[in-house]
Amino acid sequence: MKKYSSICFIFLFTTMYFFSSITNARTVDEIKKSGVINVAVKADYRPFGYKDSEGKIVGLEIDLAKDVAKDLGVDVNFIPVTSSTRMPAVAEGQADLMIATMTDKPDRRKIVYTIEVPYYSSGTNILADKKAGIKTWPDVRGKQICGTKGAYYNSFIADTFGAKVVEFSSSDAALDGLRAGKCAGYVFDDSFILGKLADETWSAGFEMPLDTIDDAPWGLAVQLGNQSLYDLMKSKVISWHKNKFILGLESEYGIKNSKYALKMSELFSK
């Protein structure tokens, strides 16, 4: 009986949460009427969302949000979020839209309404010392590669390519180890590496010469049940690919055009 009661409670809670999201979600017309769209963005992930020298949030994803606001004829209010706060910001109604480097995963679709057409993608790569001679993945065999403790790709490149991964407690510690010459490269998310290479202090001695592997798509998200904003954003993402808007932003922020953005542009330009 207790087990049955628990199941009923969970079902009731989930149902109430879903319909609450529908009720709280602001439609496109309501956003237009208010004159502002609230967008959850990263403020610590260069070049996608970060603070400039004046403390203003800028970046590739910020420009995407501004483009949405322009089409709607409204202002944009940026809400800085982290990986752990970005979905709650949307689910609880603080933000209408989320553009915050979120990998699209099935479990996340139960919390936020993820646009089915991804706008970007990221995967595993290496920030390599230019003097290390790393030009292909097999070149890491036998080399010491810095990694962040707990990251799944540490064991992957060790098992697959024979790298000797030296684990550090954090990304900053691993980067310090790389600069100190303890490793030939640092294995991490390619979008993070691209952000580092946008900084001349890194691009002078380091590079990302390898093809990204284990690509995972990024998705925009709105509240569950907000069909009008979902439909608008789906159309918007397709137009970004078709019109090469994202490719242009990559170039603007010093990012080598990604294979994913090139592929999607070609797909929707046909």
Tell me the per-residue pLDDT of 176-216, one tens digit each, with 9 for 90 and over: 999 999 999 999 888 889 888 888 999 999 999 999 998 88
> By C-alpha distance, which of 184, 31, 47 is closest to 39?
31
pLDDT at 192: 85
Cα 75 to the chain's mean position, in Å?
23
What class has domain 23-119+219-269? Answer: alpha beta
pTM of the predicted model as reported, rounded to 2 decimal places? 0.75
Confidence of residue 218 (pLDDT cuts 50, 70, 90): very high
How many residues would you count in the chain? Answer: 270
Q: Is 12 a residue whose pLDDT tops 60?
A: no
Q: Is 222 a residue whose pLDDT tops 90?
A: yes
Domain with CATH 3.40.190.10 in the chain: 23-119+219-269, 123-215
Q: Is 157 a residue whose pLDDT tops 80?
A: yes
Q: Is 155 a residue whose pLDDT tops 50?
A: yes
Q: Does domain 123-215 have CATH number 1.10.510.10?
A: no
- State mean pLDDT over 64-86: 95
pLDDT at 13: 41
Q: Is 232 a residue whose pLDDT tops 80?
A: yes
Q: Is 3 a residue whose pLDDT tops 60?
A: no
Q: What percent of the chain has pLDDT over 70?
A: 91
Q: Is 11 a residue whose pLDDT tops 60?
A: no
Q: How many CA atoms lie within 13 A of 107 on its CB side?
A: 0
First-to-final CA distance of the chain = 58
H helix runs in the chain, sequence order: 2-24, 28-34, 60-72, 86-91, 152-161, 171-179, 190-197, 200-203, 227-242, 245-252, 259-269
